[in-house]
Amino acid sequence: MTFDGYDLVVVGSGFFGLTVAERAAAAQEDGGLGKKVLVLERRSHIGGNAYSEAEPETGIEIHRYGAHLFHTSNKRVWDYVNRFTAFTGYQHRVFAKVGEQVYAFPMNLALINQFFGRSHSPDEARALIAEQSSEVDTKSAANLEEKAISLVGRPLYEAFVKGYTAKQWQTDPTELDASIITRLPVRYSFDNRYFNDTYEGLPVDGYTAWLEKMADNENIDVRLDTDYFAVRDDIPAGVPVVYTGPLDAYFGNSEGELGWRTLDFELSVEPTGDFQGTSVVNYNDQDVPFTRILEFRHMHPERDYPKDKTVIVREYSRFAESGDEPYYPINTPEDRAKLERYRDLARKETANRNVVFGGRLGTYKYLDMHMAIGSALTLFENRLVPHFTEGKALSGTESED
């Protein structure tokens, strides 16, 4: 494999990596640098966890690595992504199943009225939750359970938070740090939109079409099924590398593996045109092993999908083991101590080898899609542009921007 003629190597083709690659490769008159970029991807497809594909039996577009819902209030990001795709008017709404009842979620006036069995005005609902949450002083909460009770009260906590959290973390909430929950939103209105952002929607032709358009530039070469660690010694010295893989793996786990949660997905084709009536239903009871069921047909009601079949995916959460796909950083005190040591190593690697670390895996941060894109645009503007146009050093790490 030859690396001659490339100005930049990007490791990973998720939204962070592709945004960096697209901007670096774009023509100067389009705000880019016109550089020749090589993207290395260990998977057999581009797009990272945002990759989507048609389920073969039904043709229904599924998100292979869990539901991806695009939303942002960042106009710069919104304007940028609209270069590559139009968006539907989809607004995400979630429902929660507790016992034999289904509630609109997140917690709002409809849920409060339904759960407590009577109509409340917004002021009455506020007073009710304030009374129930007064059981625990939020400033003195010693664990996640106490913190949650101090925010929403014990009845709502035990119904909607306790079991779901225990499944998400495989840990009793009394043994989880209070900092995991900084706030539990309660809306004292009937608004049941899951996100509050200014812009929201799903790509009209799907995520893969969007991602492929980002990479569709004569200055970008994408090599799939390529392990960066197997070829990195072949990259010419001095060629900048933007690395979006796991931070600990880059350094051979020398400071120990960082802790992650992972997800398992159980897909099935059901012999009905509509399994649950909406795209996502959370299963909050602890005795139900999965956390939620996704039904992807409801994400694109404008499409002509089969009327007699549908695709559902049951989602399970667990601690990641070596070789699992990392999804959510656990961020224990031990993890944070390791992360600081890895950041020190990353700073030295940037200074010595022109390697810049970014993205969810490269910074050990959970990033929504819009956050990853925004961070990549910042890296491009603040680091790569000065490096290529003024010869400035690629100092610092993306995690500290």
SS3 helix, strand, coil % of the chain, rounded to 5?
A: 40, 20, 45
Q: How big is the CA angle at 99 (ends 307 and 109), to the nearest 5 degrees? A: 85
As given in the structure block, the two tokens for residue 63 are 């998100």
Contacts of 302 (CB under 8 A, 6+ apart): 88
Rg for the chain, CA atoms, rounded: 23
Which of 1, 329, 23 has the alpha carbon at shortest distance from 10? 23
Question: Between 15-25 and 369-379, two packed helices, what is the crossing angle to 10 degrees?
Answer: 40
Rounded to the nearest 5°, which phi and psi values hold at 20? -60, -45
Distance between CA atoms of 21 and 400, rounded to whole angstroms? 21
379: nearest Cα among 359, 360, 365: 359
Phi, psi dihedrals of residue 54, rounded to the nearest 5°:
-80, 130
Confirm if 232 and 242 have CB atoms less than 8 A apart: no
Residue type, 327: Y
- In this structure, what DSSP letter does residue 236 have? P
Sheet containing 8-11, strands listed edge to edge, beginning at the edge strand earlier in sequence:
220-223, 37-40, 8-11, 241-243, 355-357
Contact yes or no for 35/10 (Cβ under 8 A): no
Residues with a catalytic annotation lie at 183, 187, 261, 292, 315, 366, 368
- ∠ CA 53-43-347, nearest 5°, is 125
How many CB atoms within 10 Å of residue 16? 30
